[in-house]
Structure 1
């Protein structure tokens, strides 16, 4: 696993050991950023199921100003911090150990909004539609922003969640990516 493009292009990233975290493959990650980017001029990103920090770090490398990473797994949080340090992004990132729902509620209190939100939960524990509902209800997505939801290809997410619409869906083997705006 590595940073694909931007200022840290080619930088290797550590993966979370074990089988509880399923990293986004480089092929899928490159496709995501070709669709939403490929490069950015600022903005904030939320990597809600951070894992190794792969997606948020890629966004930082491509020009996002700040990233917030959340994962409930202690080892994943350590790996995210290590990867941020190796990339010299610790000053542009915040990392929290928390579950997704509580993290979203904490972010509501901060009154922040994100240009990009990555949702890549474990396939067996997906609550993507409910989480997008919270994001919608509390205006966590900035105007013109995009939610990128990675899920099992057998799952069909709703076409509309609140005022968000699924603008695109791509399938890569057993992985699907749904883009909401």
Structure 2
């Protein structure tokens, strides 16, 4: 696993030990950022089910000014910190060990909007509809922002969710990427 492009291009990233997380493959990560970027001119990102932090770090490498990383797994949090230190992005990141729904509520109280929200939940624990509701309730997506969901191939996400409209859906092996923007 590595950073695909940008200023940290080529740096290797650690994976979370054990089998509790499913890292996004480099192929899927590259496809994701080619769809939504591929580069950014600043902005804030939220990596909600961060795992190793690879998606948020990729966003930082490609130009996001800051990223909030959230995961509830203790080993994932340690891995995110190690990867941020290795890539030199510690000062551009906030890392929280928390449940995704509680984290969205906490972030929502800060009156912040994100240009990029990355959702890569464990395939067996999909709560996308609830998450979309909280993103809408707390106005977490900036007007020109993008939300990207990585799911299993068989998961069907809605065409609309509050103000979010499905822009694009692409499949890569057993992984599906779905991109939402504000309508």
Q: TM-score, normalised by structure 1?
A: 0.99
Query: Which residue in the other structure is 2:90 paired with?
Result: 90
Once residues 164 and 40 of structure 2 are traced to their aligned partners in structure 1, the CA distance between those partners, rounded to angstroms, is 22
Residue equivalent to 1:170: 170
Deviations 1:59-111 (A, max 9, x none): 00001000000000000000000000001111000000000000000001111
3-state SS of the aligned residue for 2:14? Answer: coil
How many pairs does the alignment contain? 181
CA distance in 2, matches of 1:20, 1:128: 19
- On the 8 A contact 2:109/2:138 being kept in 1, the answer is no
Unmatched runs of 5 consecutive residues or more in structure 1: none
Q: Which moved more, 1:130-139 or 1:8-17?
A: 130-139
Aligned equivalents of 2:85, 2:167: Cα separation in 1? 35
- 1:84 counterpart SS class: helix
Aligned to 2:109, the other structure's residue is in SS state helix
- Structure 1's consecutive aligned runs of 4 or more residues displaced over 6 angstroms after TM superposition are none
Q: CA deviation at 1:124?
A: 0.3
| Cα deviation, residue 121, structure 1 | 0.5
Matching residue of 1:9: 9
CA distance in 2, matches of 1:57, 1:125: 24
Q: Point out where structure 2 has 5 or more consecutive residues left out of the alignment.
A: none
Q: Deviations over 1:14-61 (max 9, x none)?
A: 000111100000000000100111111100000000000000000000
Q: What residue is the counterpart of 2:70 in the other structure? A: 70
1:24 aligns with 2:24: yes
- Give the SS at the match of 1:110: coil
Report the equivalent of 1:39: 39
Instruction: Say what the alpha-carbon RMSD is for the aligned residues.
Output: 0.5
CA–CA separation in structure 2 for the residues paired with 1:4 and 1:170: 19
Matching residue of 1:110: 110
Name the counterpart of 2:79. Answer: 79
What is the CA-CA distance between 1:130 and the residue it aligns to?
1.2
The CA distance in 1 between the partners of 2:137 and 2:176, in whole Å, is: 25
